[in-house]
């Protein structure tokens, strides 16, 4: 009652007409409903069209249907491809202009630099700011109409390489790299060199080019880009080079750099040298970062040359894959299948290059002479099956290796060496405490035994004889037995100095062993307490022959010092001998051989600590050049002395003691 009274008082006081109030309220509701309905109808009209006020770049696309948007984008995409990208740059105050195109044709194939997913773009544009809610979309339509947003394509991608290739083609004649000052060594001895001059470079800054192109294409506008030209200073100038030239005498004073590696598996030493002339050719002036992150000018070796040298010279000899052991004994008691397990070896290129570079740096900075030897660093891979796992004879490792070279040997000599190495000796087992006889292992010396005739010297005659060249086998086996620390029970040197058998360390005679059936023989005793196995390796291309003695090491060591020649004996004057065994007037000559007295020390360090030194002494008789000349009638010639009567080294040619005659290849 009080409320109605209050309203009545108010009505009387302000003269308010309720009828008018209700009319205003109703009219407001009607107008609001009409407005909302209009807005909803307006928003509904853009369900399948782009909202009004939407732009791509500067082009208004509001109200477009999906098909219209698709047609528009496709049209502009084609136009942009046809019009290309306008590019400008300035060199020497002159502007250069050219156009690159996003499409490239190569071998009848079109490569596109600009990719647009049109279907995805159409759906995104038509759905822009839409939530597909009647009231929310009505408000979005009004907001877009007022704010007029500018949108861009989101699926556009560009292939920089296609555009880069075209730009490079246009600017290549205007681009040049800076040239550093450098050092050219003309001669090492005497040391002479030149310093080349440095020069500026010119490059173009592409850093922002592709971003600008992408931005323009994303709003469907043709790009116009300006490439910035930059001048590049050289890294090394003449003054830098001059500063390090004082180090050159120190670098070349020490001579060659030696690279060394010992293959523990095959007991073989390898040596390579980087000669002073190579150092001069590979020398470069560079910047080196110091520990405090500052840079200093230094002399270094060109890494590319070092890597090539290590690959071609070192890795080609050392690198092998890991191999598993194999072992099988045939019915003849010889090992018919054998492969010793060995670790795989791979060159550590980075560490070896660093070590070589450090020697160069040391030569510049050191005050006293230090080592100029690089020990080659390798990485090893272990085999899956070891040698000890495939046999129960105690054959686990290489005890020693013998090596000789047969360079210059004729064909039959090489065939005889191969037959002896592979058919006679390879795979031979030697029982514990057995005395090995080389003649027994190699016989019979016949065609049936696989041998061929080869020229030999017997006394003063040059004639073919079966098995010429087998002393190469004897010499190599002798060295293998010594390197294995075995007891040599019979050995005799050749009666002549033959280059095939000179020691590989110094080229002198003394470490050879001759054989001739039935004697002299070469013999040694297997005193290791286990079986031993002989394997052979013959490389005709390099003329290298190796014998490997396998077994179980008891800790002993065997080695020998290089031979020493205490006396050389002159050959004397040449001789001519007539013979009816040659056609009249036909002539055959044997080269002269200097005589020598040589010796060397063979050392055995046994497992019990005993050290046994044995001196092998060898006397090689001199032999002058002897020529046989054919004559018509046979005449009996008296024995002829090779040297002056009374000479303590005098040797008479006839009669010939066959026991003092060995196979010597002509």
Full-model pTM:
0.65
Q: How far, in Å, are 479, 577, 658, 660 from residue 655 at the CA level?
A: 33, 15, 9, 11
Cis peptide before 123 (omega within 30 of 0): no
Give the model's pLDDT for residue 453: 87
Band of pLDDT at residue 294, cut at 50, 70 and 90? confident
Mapped onto helix, strand or coil, the DSSP state of residue 371 is coil
Higher pLDDT, 648 or 575: 575
pLDDT above 70 as % of the chain: 84
pLDDT over 60 (residue 662): no
Dihedral Cα 347, 350, 352, 357, nearest 10 deg: 160
Q: How far, in Å, are 108, 414, 579, 631, 655 from residue 634 at the CA level?
A: 89, 35, 7, 7, 18
The pair of structure tokens assigned to 283 is 């020398």
Q: What is the CATH number of domain 240-320+340-381?
A: 3.10.20
Q: How far, in Å, are 414, 472, 514 from residue 469 at the CA level?
A: 8, 6, 10
- What are 533-585's pLDDT values in tens digits? 999 999 999 999 999 999 999 999 999 999 999 999 999 888 888 888 888 88
Mapped onto helix, strand or coil, the DSSP state of residue 19 is helix
Query: Can you give the length of the chain in residues?
Result: 666
- 193 CB-near residues (< 8 Å, 6+ apart): 183, 184, 185, 186, 245, 248
Which range, of 53-57, 226-230, 354-358, 452-456, averages the lowest pLDDT? 452-456
The pair of structure tokens assigned to 506 is 């110094």
Give the model's pLDDT for residue 462: 53
155 in Cβ contact with 116 (< 8 Å): yes
402 in Cβ contact with 485 (< 8 Å): no
3-state secondary structure 630-646: ECCCCCCCCCCECCCCC
Q: How far is CA 570 from the centre of its chain?
A: 50
- What are 419-468's pLDDT values in tens digits? 999 999 999 999 999 999 999 999 999 999 999 988 665 665 556 788 88
> What is the biggest distance separating any 2 CA atoms in the chain, rounded to whole angstroms?
179
pLDDT over 50 (residue 650): no
Give, as one character, the DSSP assignment of residue 573. S
Give the model's pLDDT for residue 640: 45
Mean pLDDT of 650-656: 39
Give the model's pLDDT for residue 33: 59
Domain boundaries, the chain: 2-44, 60-125+154-184+203-230, 240-320+340-381, 392-572+591-624
- Where helices occur in 172-315 by DSSP H, the ranges are 209-218, 238-244, 248-253, 276-282, 303-309
Give the model's pLDDT for residue 643: 45
pLDDT over 50 (residue 665): no
> Tokens 């294995």, residue?
484
pLDDT over 80 (residue 148): yes
Higher pLDDT, 640 or 626: 626
Degrees to nearest 5, angle at CA 394 with 389 and 395? 75
pLDDT over 90 (residue 134): no
Task: Report the helix count and the strand count for the chain, using DSSP H and E.
Answer: 16, 38
Quickly list DSSP for 523-570.
Answer: EEE--SSS-EEEEEEEETTTTEEEEEEEE---S-EEEEPPPEEEEEE-
Give the model's pLDDT for residue 184: 93
Cis peptide before 444 (omega within 30 of 0): yes
Give the model's pLDDT for residue 49: 85
Give the model's pLDDT for residue 663: 40
Q: In what helix (H) or strand (E) does residue 272 lie, and over which residues does it extend?
A: strand 268-274
Beta strands in 275-384 (DSSP E): 283-289, 295-301, 326-329, 335-339, 344-347, 373-375, 378-381
Give the model's pLDDT for residue 646: 45
Band of pLDDT at residue 158, cut at 50, 70 and 90? confident
Band of pLDDT at residue 100, cut at 50, 70 and 90? confident
432 in Cβ contact with 533 (< 8 Å): no
């Amino acid at each position: 009652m009080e409320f109605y009274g209050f309203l009545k008082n108010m009505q009387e006081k302000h003269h308010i007409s309720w009828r008018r109030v209700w009319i205003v309220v109703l009219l407001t509701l009607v107008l609001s409903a009409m407005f909302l309905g209009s807005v909803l109808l307006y928003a509904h009209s853009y369900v399948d069209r782009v909202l009004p006020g939407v732009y791509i770049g500067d082009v208004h696309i509001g109200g477009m249907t999906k098909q219209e948007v698709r047609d528009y984008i496709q049209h502009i995409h084609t136009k942009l491809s046809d019009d290309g990208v306008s590019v400008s740059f300035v060199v020497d105050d002159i502007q250069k202009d050219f156009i690159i195109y996003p499409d490239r044709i190569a071998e009848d194939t079109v490569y596109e630099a600009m990719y647009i997913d049109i279907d995805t773009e159409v759906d995104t544009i038509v759905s822009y700011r839409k939530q597909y809610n009647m009231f929310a979309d009505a408000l979005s339509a009004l907001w877009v109409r007022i704010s007029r947003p500018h949108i861009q394509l989101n699926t556009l991608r560009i292939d920089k390489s296609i555009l880069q290739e075209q730009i490079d083609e246009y600017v290549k004649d205007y681009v040049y790299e800076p040239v550093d000052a450098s050092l050219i060594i003309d001669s090492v001895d005497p040391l002479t060199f030149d310093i080349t001059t440095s020069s500026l470079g010119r490059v173009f800054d592409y850093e922002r080019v592709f971003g600008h192109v992408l931005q323009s294409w994303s709003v469907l506008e043709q790009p116009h880009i300006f490439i910035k030209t930059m001048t590049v200073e050289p890294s090394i100038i003449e003054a830098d080079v001059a500063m390090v030239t004082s180090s050159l005498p120190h670098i070349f004073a020490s001579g060659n750099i030696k690279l060394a590696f010992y293959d523990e598996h095959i007991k073989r030493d390898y040596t390579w040298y980087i000669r002073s002339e190579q150092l001069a050719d590979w020398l470069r002036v560079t910047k080196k970062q110091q520990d405090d992150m500052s840079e200093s000018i230094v002399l270094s070796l060109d890494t590319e040359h070092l890597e090539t040298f290590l690959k071609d010279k070192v890795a080609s000899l050392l690198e092998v894959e890991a191999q598993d052991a194999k072992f099988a004994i045939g019915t003849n008691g010889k090992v018919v299948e054998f492969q010793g397990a060995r670790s795989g070896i791979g060159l550590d290129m980075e560490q070896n290059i660093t070590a070589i570079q450090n020697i160069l740096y040391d030569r510049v900075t050191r005050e006293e002479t230090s080592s100029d030897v690089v020990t080659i660093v390798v990485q090893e891979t272990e085999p899956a099956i070891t040698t000890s796992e495939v046999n129960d004879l105690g054959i686990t490792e290489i005890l020693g290796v013998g090596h000789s070279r047969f360079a210059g040997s004729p064909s039959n000599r090489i065939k005889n060496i191969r037959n002896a190495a592979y058919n006679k000796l390879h795979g031979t087992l030697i029982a514990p405490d057995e005395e090995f006889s080389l003649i027994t292992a190699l016989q019979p010396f016949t065609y049936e035994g696989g041998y061929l005739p080869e020229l030999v010297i017997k006394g003063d005659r040059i004639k073919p004889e079966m098995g010429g060249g087998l002393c190469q086998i004897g010499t190599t086996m002798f060295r293998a037995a010594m390197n294995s620390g075995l007891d040599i029970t019979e050995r005799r040197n050749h009666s002549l100095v033959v280059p095939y058998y000179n020691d590989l360390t110094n080229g002198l005679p003394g470490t050879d062993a001759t054989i001739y059936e039935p004697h002299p023989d070469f013999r040694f005793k297997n005193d290791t307490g286990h079986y031993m196995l002989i394997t052979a390796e013959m490389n005709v291309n390099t003329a290298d022959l190796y014998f490997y003695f396998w077994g179980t090491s008891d800790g002993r060591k065997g080695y020998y010092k290089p031979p020493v020649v205490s006396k050389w004996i002159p050959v004397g004057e040449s001789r001519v001998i007539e013979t009816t065994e040659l056609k009249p007037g036909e002539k055959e000559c044997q080269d002269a051989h200097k005589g020598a007295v040589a010796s060397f020390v063979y050392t055995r360090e046994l497992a019990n600590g005993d050290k046994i030194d044995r001196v092998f002494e060898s006397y090689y008789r001199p032999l002058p050049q002897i020529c046989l000349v054919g004559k018509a009638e046979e005449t009996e010639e008296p024995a002829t002395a090779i040297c002056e009567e009374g000479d303590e080294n005098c040797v008479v040619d006839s009669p010939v003691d066959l026991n003092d005659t060995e196979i010597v290849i002509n």
